[in-house]
Amino acid sequence: MKIVSCAACSAQISDAATSCPKCHVPRGSNIGHCRTCNTVLPVSKHRSKGSALGAMRVVDGHGVQETHSWIQHHPCPQCGDPKPLYQAGDDEYGKQQKQNWWRVVKLLAWGSVVVVVGSYFILWVALKH
């Protein structure tokens, strides 16, 4: 048996223990601390990523599915902080996903332009000779 530190409270516990005897957090669980009161919180319950399909749009004759992404926070039960596991960049997550989507749309649009112009050029060369 080996002695390890609890990820939640840093207490010394056995590596055979299934949970910490001091704070009762299961070993190996994905936990975080509230930024206001330092309460131990499971990340899966208090900070999660979500996404949903949005409206279908037509861009240069192609149907493109819009995707909305966000990070959802649940309040700390101890102090009531609305975003207890907030991380820098959480507010930008959805914006970054939208920017990536627009990059794909622009790439598809320019690809369509290249195909159309190339087709007209080949047709012009074929008809000229």
Per-residue model confidence as pLDDT tens digits over 14-45? 888 888 888 777 777 677 888 889 888 888 77
**Domain-embedded: residue 79:** yes
In this structure, are 23 and 65 located in the same domain?
no
In this structure, are 108 and 62 located in the same domain?
yes
Tally of domains in the chain? 2
Single out the residue of 110, 97, 91 nearest to residue 53, CA to CA: 97
In this structure, are 117 and 54 located in the same domain?
yes
pTM: 0.43
Residue 124's domain comprises 48-128
Per-residue model confidence as pLDDT tens digits over 55-74? 666 666 666 666 667 778 88
**Domain-embedded: residue 39:** no
What is the three-state SS of 96-108? HHHHHHHHHHHHH
In this structure, are 20 and 56 located in the same domain?
no
In this structure, are 70 and 120 located in the same domain?
yes
**In the predicted model, what is the mean pLDDT of the chain?**
77
